[in-house]
Structure 1
Amino acid sequence: MKKLVINEDQVDSCFESRFMNVFDLHYKNNSHYYNATRRKKEDLVCLKSDEEFKKMRPDAVSCVVILKGEEPKLLLCHEFRYPTGQFLLGVPAGLMDSEDKDIIETAQREIYEECNLKVNRNQISIINPLVFSTPGMSDESNALVCVQIDTAMNVNSSHSEGNEIFDGFSLFSKEDAQRLLKQGCDDQGIFYSVYTWMALMYFVSDMWL
């Protein structure tokens, strides 16, 4: 199927700020499709060539953190997510900085900032280099990585930055993870994000072994 093509002249800015922008995409005359994005106009995904698309960096990295051992455990955090007004059960995650060498370096930084854990590059494997979060509304993308650790002692969010607010961490066995998947929410009845669902599924699937 032939895809629709758009150029920079067909993109209007509706709102721009440091962390969020909204653009009106005119794929054809008198049509409007709005894109809420972290990217600047010149870096929008829809404007990329096929080759640029295949080589682009994700906006952020989400980490599946697994405590190895006789009974493996999945480490999840309780982070306040402002758009939902709730502390959501989630994975350590963060935006890629322009100076980050690669996905692994971003993951190392975020695990330290949000969990107070220093991990080596060989403890991190890439699950998927780029997935889109909500492509019907945004071109935001995340890389997915697995981080395997030996201990979860002294896990805390003391190095978190900006407006990040955490309410502790929880360790889940495979039985716990299966329960959360069946419930579709945490044990307090709070719905979680698609990245939490991904982490639960990846953990119970044993694909990380």
Structure 2
Amino acid sequence: MEKPNITKETTETLLETKFLKVFDLQYAPGKHYFDATRRSKENLVALQSEELCKTMLPDAVTCIVVLQEADKEAKLLLTYEFRYPTGQFLLSPPAGLIDPQDKQTEQPLLETAAREIQEETGLTIEEHDSMHVVNPCLFSSTGMTDESNALVCAVLHPEDLSHLTQAGAVGSECFDGFVLLSKAEAQEILRQGRDAHGMFYSVYTWAALLYFVSDLWEQ
């Protein structure tokens, strides 16, 4: 099937604010599809070529943080972060937007991940720790937005957890503590589809849980 023809000339700006924009992607005469995005019109995914789309940087990075203390069972580190559209504290991995300066580095995804982990947990990446990209770009909800996240796994070996803190929260970020999950506890949350308080969680939390319990972080 031939792809609908979306061009800059037929894309209309409906809303433009500092943090969010809405565009009308007129893909045929009289046919409209709406895109809520963080991106400028010039950087919309819908207007990129197929080759550019395959090599694009995502908007943000979600971090799968595994803590491996000496002689202890590995734990998945998650947080409770207030998510404004739901009005609830949701079980969440550390995550954040890629800053312009990150894009200038050799490894923008790892650079962003290291910064977000430090800001949201107080932990820094040391020489004996490891980081790797799990997935370079995942679209969040392609029926509504072109927003995307990379997944980065960080395996940290802290001597203790005394440095865990959420004092580095910036802007609208609002946290309510950490959760350290064993493999069995993570499996139970996956089975239930809810956290320990009975609340739902995001697809990126689901991805972090699944990656952890499948032991892929060790490979």
Could you say which TM-score interval applies, normalised by the shorter chain?
over 0.9
Alpha-carbon shift at residue 76 of structure 1 (Å): 0.3
Alpha-carbon shift at residue 71 of structure 1 (Å): 1.1
Which of 121, 137, 141 aligns to 1:134? It is 141
Alpha-carbon shift at residue 150 of structure 1 (Å): 1.1
Secondary structure at the counterpart of residue 165 of structure 2: coil
Letter aligned with residue 115 of structure 1? T
1:80 has 2:87 as partner = no
- The alignment yields a C-alpha RMSD, in angstroms, of 1.2
1:175 has 2:177 as partner = no
TM-score by length of 1: 0.97
Q: Aligned runs of 1:33-52 on 2, under 5 Å? A: 33-52=33-52
Alpha-carbon shift at residue 5 of structure 1 (Å): 2.5
Number of aligned residue pairs: give it. Answer: 209
Secondary structure at the counterpart of residue 24 of structure 2: strand
Partners of 1:171 and 1:7 in 2: CA distance: 47
**What residue ranges of structure 2 are gaps of 5+ in the alignment?**
none
Match of 1:206 in 2: 215
Partners of 1:120 and 1:141 in 2: CA distance: 28
Secondary structure at the counterpart of residue 130 of structure 1: strand
Q: Aligned runs of 1:1-40 on 2, under 5 Å? A: 1-40=1-40
Alpha-carbon shift at residue 202 of structure 1 (Å): 0.3
Partners of 1:78 and 1:89 in 2: CA distance: 5
TM-score by length of 2: 0.92
Alpha-carbon shift at residue 52 of structure 1 (Å): 1.1
CA-to-aligned-CA distance 1:36-67 (integer Å, 9 cap, x gap): 00000000001001221112110000000001
Alpha-carbon shift at residue 120 of structure 1 (Å): 4.2
**What residue ranges of structure 1 are gaps of 5+ in the alignment?**
none
Moved over 6 A (4+): none
Match of 2:122 in 1: 116
Letter aligned with residue 109 of structure 2? I
Secondary structure at the counterpart of residue 26 of structure 1: strand
Match of 2:110 in 1: 104
Q: Is the 2:5–2:28 Cα contact (8 Å) retained in structure 1?
A: no
Q: Is the 1:108–1:120 Cα contact (8 Å) retained in structure 2?
A: no
Partners of 2:115 and 2:61 in 1: CA distance: 10
